[in-house]
């Protein structure tokens, strides 16, 4: 997969349409994040949210659209956590990632948004932005023995 191209005009109507299409696709999946290359659009846009109770603080994070996102690692200490991906259905793996990042991106109004994220929130952002560079989470794993199907990892008693 190639590296996705920057979006020249974040406020363009077709960019908003793409974002709305991606939100539909993410909700149908269902998933908590999606990058444009996953719907075969090689542009630098991701969408995500963090469900309440999923992150350390439990507050979640509202649906967010990041256009041309840039990540700065604020604390390089790695923490390992489980990840799945709509591009690898039914699979899950343990992925080490920095736990404190800053994000800078454009929104659909063409305004620059900057904020910090930690823990699970930081993990989701890094996972989605990796898609823009053709990176899927197994490429970040240091222990591939933890990569498997959800059923195998949780047992068959559901
Ligand atoms: Ni993914």
Domain membership flag for residue 4: no
The pLDDT of residue 155 is 53
List pLDDT tens digits, range 124-135: 999 999 999 999
pLDDT at 69 over 60: yes
Predicted TM-score of the model (pTM):
0.94
Locate 63 and state its tokens: 């649906």
Number of domains present in the structure of the chain: 1
Domain of 51 in residue numbering reads as: 13-76+99-134
CB contact at 8 A, 40 and 21: no
The pLDDT of residue 153 is 60
Domain membership flag for residue 62: yes
Q: Is 128 noted as a catalytic residue in this protein?
A: yes
β strands within 41-158, DSSP E:
45-50, 61-85, 88-106, 112-118, 148-149
Other beta carbons less than 10 A from residue 104's beta carbon? 14
Percent helix, strand and coil across the chain, each rounded to 5?
A: 30, 40, 30
The CATH code of the domain that includes 69 is: 3.90.45.10
User: Among residues 79, 128, 151, 158, which one is catalytic?
Assistant: 128
CA of 38 to the centre of ligand 1 (A): 8
Domain membership flag for residue 147: no
Averaged pLDDT, 119-146: 97
pLDDT at 156 over 70: no
CB contact at 8 A, 55 and 32: no
Domain membership flag for residue 33: yes
pLDDT at 157 over 60: no
Which residues lie closer than 8 Å to 120 by C-beta, 6 or more apart?
A: 50, 54, 55, 56, 81
CA of 114 to the centre of ligand 1 (A): 22
CA of 46 to the centre of ligand 1 (A): 10
Domain membership flag for residue 86: no
CA of 32 to the centre of ligand 1 (A): 9
Domain membership flag for residue 92: no
Domain membership flag for residue 155: no
Domain membership flag for residue 121: yes
Mean pLDDT value across the chain = 94
% pLDDT > 70, the chain: 95
List pLDDT tens digits, range 12-61: 999 999 999 999 999 999 999 999 999 999 999 999 999 998 888 888 99
């Amino acid at each position: 997969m190639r590296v996705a191209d920057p979006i020249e005009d974040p406020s363009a109507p077709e960019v908003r349409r793409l974002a709305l299409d991606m939100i539909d696709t993410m909700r149908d999946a269902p998933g908590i994040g999606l990058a444009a290359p996953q719907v075969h659009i090689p542009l630098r846009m991701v969408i995500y949210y963090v469900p309440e109770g999923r992150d350390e603080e439990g507050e979640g994070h509202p649906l967010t659209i990041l256009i041309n996102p840039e990540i700065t690692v604020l604390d390089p200490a790695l923490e390992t956590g489980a990840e799945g991906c709509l591009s690898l259905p039914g699979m899950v793996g343990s992925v080490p990632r920095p736990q404190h990042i800053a994000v800078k991106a454009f929104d659909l109004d063409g305004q620059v948004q900057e904020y910090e994220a930690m823990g699970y929130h930081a993990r989701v952002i890094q996972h989605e932005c990796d898609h823009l560079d053709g990176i899927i989470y197994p490429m970040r794993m240091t222990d591939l023995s933890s990569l498997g199907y959800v059923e195998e990892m949780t047992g068959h008693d559901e």
